[in-house]
Structure 1
Amino acid sequence: MRADCGNCFGLCCVAPAFSRSSDFAIDKPGGHACPNLGATFACGIHTSLRPRGFAGCTVYDCFGAGQKVAQETFAGRDWRAAPATAPLMFDVFATMRHLHELLWYLSEARDLPAAEPLYAQLDAVLTGTRRLTDLPAEQLAAVDVDAHRMTVVPLLRRAGELGRAQVRGKRPSFQGRDLVGKDLRRTDLRGADLRGASAVGADLRGTDLAAADVTGADLRGADLRGADLRRTLFLIQSQLDAARGDAATRLPVTLTRPGHWTSRR
């Protein structure tokens, strides 16, 4: 469930649309290649995306959907060499990306010791989701991702609740709350429900987020310097990439410290 750009056809640089904003320096319609995409499907400004106004690219994660579509679903045929495949390939990529994201969350839930009562159900849904990703292109494009998500989300929510229950005492709920710019340094966030919370620019310096469920939490610009995220539930790489941190921020071994974070403690 990790992106392997070397085995993709730059699908995330072509299929999605984006608009000029603080995240993107230009407008780009869906299905049109970004002007920074090179002939070998590599980004021509990869090492300077942020200073050149493409911060949005640095926080995008396809969860490995790109190489799956490129090398398996379309068997290595790229959209430039076979332009007739492009519309279907881009539709399939959108579907695959959603399915791979669900696979990532399901796999995380399956690794939670506290979620053992749900292991059989998680295994069944994992198997079913993997089967969807192996469908032929035309069938994949027709998958009702929203309907499938409705079967997955309640299971993930229950797994998160079991994980959060490992923290004794009060476990605050901020689900869907507006926490923009809030100073949360003195708030006990262990076992907190932060699902879907908007924590843009929130001050989380030095906080312990053990067993806190951050599924879908917006952490853009959140200050995570010195925070302990080692046991945070359902934390994804793109949330870290969108936030601020430093050398003192403690991370799960499965995630990578973003290159733009400060090295100072």
Structure 2
Amino acid sequence: MSRVWLVTGASSGFGRAIAEAAIAAGDLVVGAARRPEALDDLVAAHPGQAEAVRLDVTSPDAPAVVDDVVARHGRIDVLVNNAGRTQVGALEETTAAELRYLFELHFFGPAALTKAVLPHMRRQGGGAVVQMSSVGGWITAPGFGAYCATKFALEGLTQTLSQEVDFGVRFLIVEPGAFRTGLFNPGAAYLSAELPGYAATVGPTRQYVTGGDGEQPGDPAKAAAAILTALDAENPPLRLPLGADAVDSIRGQLDSVADELASWEHVSRATAFDPE
């Protein structure tokens, strides 16, 4: 039986690649985007297999889309929380509104959609939720503080969901490195107003995201194929890093944490009450 997918941010990048891969596998995809007309070509090319809906994941009304899809198709087998954007700015450069919006987009929106789909997946006896995180859910870089904070939060929530949901739902946290998705297209990255004091630390990150488009090593189509492979595996992973750069960076972070833990373990363990 073909599956029903709801993919947010489906008009470009990973969302578009995942939608195309699911359609190629014979499934039905409801692609959600703020501008659903950007999916007109996909819908026209795959009648009966592709639909487009308007969705702003930061809207309080966003979860209603889940119920609408289930009303039309009877189920949602895979929810992909993919909508997002790149943002660069030191914390001191980032306004409260910018920080809150990014959390609405990367954390509260996916949390609300996941919460909305769980009752349907419980009723139908299972499903899968794919959270598009980032290598930035493990490691940080100057200027990516807000971005990484949202991804850290999403990963913490999803790991907990994998422990508390016991009715056949698979959770997959996808952690891509650098892929040619359009996030680094001219004007695509959101840049907070610069402060001169951060030119040395955040400046190189600004240059990277505004001048590195087309040079990323990752192929979004191969990433989508890897996601489908993981979802269909007998023993799927909770986390799926994508790209050699992501694997190397995460491994380096794990080694660094292990080394620091070992170096300070004697201090950490010496905090219990002394025996009487």
Give the TM-score band, short-chain normalised. under 0.3
TM-score, reference length from structure 1: 0.27
